[in-house]
Structure 1
Amino acid sequence: MKTAVFSTKSYDREYLNRFNSSHSHELTYFEAPLNKNTVNLTVGYEAVCVFVNDDLNKEVIDELSSKGVKVIALRCAGFNNVDLDEATNKGIAVVRVPTYSPQAVAEHAMALILTLNRKTHKAYNRIRESNFSLERLTGFDIHGKTVGIIGTGHIGALFAKIVLGFGCNVIGYDVNENKELVDAGVKYCGLDELFKNSDIISLHCPLIPATHHLLNKNAFDKMKDGVMVINTSRGALINTTDAIAALKSGRLGYLGIDVYEQEEKLFFKDLSEEIIEDDEISRLMTFPNVLITSHQGFFTKEALEEIASTTLKNLTDIEEGRGSKNEIKV
């Protein structure tokens, strides 16, 4: 299938090319994201392959349809950047990679917790400057703390098992309780109770209208002073303005984010010689108790292999008329 691959990085080409040997799709790589300004690049293609920050709104999908595109292949699990209703109306199949490496994201969430707590990033920089002082590097024992997990799907469940292994008390919130986690000792509760009792809160839920700005001023006001919040899911789960206010007041003691509400303008780019115009992320970067990584939670060898192989198989299944089990239906 003749496919235009957008938001391409070197690792996308490496893994897609490696696994394409058994599929023989005709792949053309574009470094630019797919949006209303670049949709004209899709002329002559049957499919587009996109990532988390490509913008497939109604206007873009209408243009894709007019140019003969029949498939949108997402190299990710989330699909909040695609107008699914319009894709359905235009007869464009939307396929995704529902599970690539939930272990990678769960482990990255734990890495953020450990780094924020024990300040290993600061210790590393100190030692590089021959500063061996321990002043202001005090952390806390994670053992025995209460960890609240919002969303206990694949990633949330694996994260729960990790923190159980650290000897934490684990409470969870999800519309569907996981019996295996209950048997392992996870206690489910309402959101307000989770906010009230958690020392650490980790977000592992999808971004849908009901979860947009789930953590806002009202939510922060219900939390313990000094609570740690970790987000490796979607940036818009947190109201950034309210998070900054909570950091300034001390209610929010630590914030670790691998995602950011306006990340499409920043992440996956080298902006080291440019002025960052986003005032909110610039403010976040000034806090000593904030740790930001640029959507690298998924970024392991195993995850990249699964993303490439599943994406290409999705395209093959559609091309050969079998339909894909990973197609998103509305």
Structure 2
Amino acid sequence: MKIALFSSQNYEKPFFNQFALQNPELEITYFEEKLNHQTVAMASGFDSICAFVNDCLDANVITTLAEMNIRCIALRCAGFNNVDLPTAKAHGITVVRVPAYSPEAVAEHCVALMLTLSRKTHKAYNRVREDNFDLNGLLGFNLFKKTIGVIGCGKIGQALVNILNGFGANVLVCDPNVGEGNYTQVNLDMLLSQSDVISLHCPLTEQTHHLIDEAAFAKMKDGVMLINTSRGALVDSKACIGALKSRKLGYLGLDVYEQESELFFQNHSGEILQDDVFSRLVSFPNVLVTGHQGFFTQEALSEIARVTVDNLLAWKNNQAIKNQVI
């Protein structure tokens, strides 16, 4: 089976090669290009494609893939909001994903953002390199006994809850699909109004698009910390700018961004960024952005490769696929 892997990065090839070598019936070809309307022709001659979070799999791309007789789309990520599922289903294309590669990786990165913002370690690092040991401007706060709201408590959310309990935080959870746990379940309005820190861990749907908007910020405490390691479009970026300017939002940590497909996973250091909203966001001293690296651990990459290969083998051999979306 020939597989076209789009948006490939050098760091993931060793992990996929490891599992491909164990299954010689799979032949993976790596394409650095993102899958979109301009590059979909590169999938010609393949049996299936492997796509990532920012690849374009809209109706036109999927229809073109179907015309090339491609019948399986293997997502090497958890989210599938970039896939036009009705079109894929209409063309008889199977879509599989990696629902839980390493919940702890993302949860730990989330806490890293919290601690970096609260203790200003990124600023301290730069000061010390310049022999500046002044502590003024670096005053932080404890996570101990703080109220931390977790919106969405799936595998990643639960991993975060476990960590926060270790810090001695008061954890609130808003998720209608979970039962009792070592947290207090509340509705969204209560979570927004009571939390000192808010962390997002829900999928991107029509209902959750811009879940955090101007109205949501109005319900929050002054100086609240917001962390998003889930999906960029959960947050209205322009509303964020307003909340930062008014100081309603005291700290903002982002590992995702709603227009990240044109920015992340690429080196733009020699360019002038054309995204004025992003440029304004990162200009605030209390904003910390990482380029969608929450998943980026050895353990997670190994699991992503293993599960993706297992999904493809199950599809090839007409076996039940537990990670099938459609």
Bin of the TM-score, shorter chain as denominator length: over 0.9
User: 1:111 and 2:112 equivalent?
Assistant: yes
Of the three residues 266, 271, 281, the one matched with 2:268 is: 271
CA–CA separation in structure 2 for the residues paired with 1:326 and 1:168: 34
AA of the residue aligned to 1:256: G
SS at match of 1:111: helix
Say if 1:73 and 1:95, in contact at 8 Å, map to a contact too: yes
Equivalent residue of 1:110, what SS?
helix
Hey, what does 1:45 align to over in structure 2? Answer: 46
Alignment pair present for 1:166 and 2:167: yes
SS in 2 for 1:11: coil
Q: Distance in 2 between matches of 1:17 and 1:297?
A: 23
Aligned counterpart, 1:326: 323
CA positional deviation for 1:178: 2.9
Partners of 1:222 and 1:251 in 2: CA distance: 10
Contact 1:101/1:306, CA 8 A, preserved across alignment? yes
**Secondary structure of the structure 1 residue equivalent to 2:15:** helix
Shift of 1:311: 0.4
1:171 aligned partner, one-letter code = L
Q: Does 2:253 correspond to 1:282?
A: no
Give a deviation string over 1:3-46, Cα, whole Å, max 9, x none: 10000000221110011112221111100000111000011001
Aligned to 1:18: 18
Q: Is the 8 Å Cα contact of residues 259 and 293 (structure 1) preserved in structure 2?
A: yes
Letter in 2 for 1:139: G
Alignment RMSD:
0.7
Give 2:91's aligned amino acid. Answer: K
For 2:120 and 2:128, the matched residues in 1 are separated by: 12
Identity of aligned residues (%): 54
The amino acid that maps onto 1:27 is I
Amino acid at match of 2:45: G
The residue aligned with 2:143 is: 142
After superposing the two structures, state which structure 1 stretch, 214-223 or 315-324, moved more: 315-324
Is it true that 1:262 corresponds to 2:259 in the alignment?
yes
Does structure 2 retain, via aligned residues, the 8 Å contact 1:152–1:178? no
Residue 129 of structure 2 corresponds to which residue in structure 1?
128
Q: Distance in 1 between matches of 2:177 and 2:32?
A: 39
Amino acid at match of 2:21: S
Report the AA paired with residue 225 of structure 2.
Answer: M
SS of 1:211 mapped into structure 2:
coil
Work out whether residues 171 and 189 of structure 1, in 8 Å CA contact, stay in contact via their aligned partners in 2.
yes
Distance 1:2 1:175 in 2: 41
For residues 68-98 of structure 1, give each alpha carbon's deviation from its aligned partner in whole angstroms, at most 9, with x where no partner exists.
1111000000000000110010011101001
Distance 1:178 1:127 in 2: 46
Paired positions, count = 325
Aligned pairs for 1:1-330 within 5 A: 1-24=1-24, 25-179=26-180, 181=181, 184=182, 186-329=183-326
Structure 1 stretches of 4+ with a deviation exceeding 2 A read: none
Q: Distance in 2 between matches of 1:202 and 1:178?
A: 19
SS in 1 for 2:207: helix
Shift of 1:143: 0.7
**Superimposed CA distance per residue, residues 241-260 of structure 1 (whole angstroms, 9 cap, x where no aligned partner):** 00100000000000000000
Show CA shifts across 1:276-324 (max 9, x none): 0000110011100000000000000000000001101111111111131
Q: Which amino acid aligns with 1:297?
A: G
Say if 1:23 and 1:313, in contact at 8 Å, map to a contact too.
no
The one-letter code of the counterpart of 1:282 is S
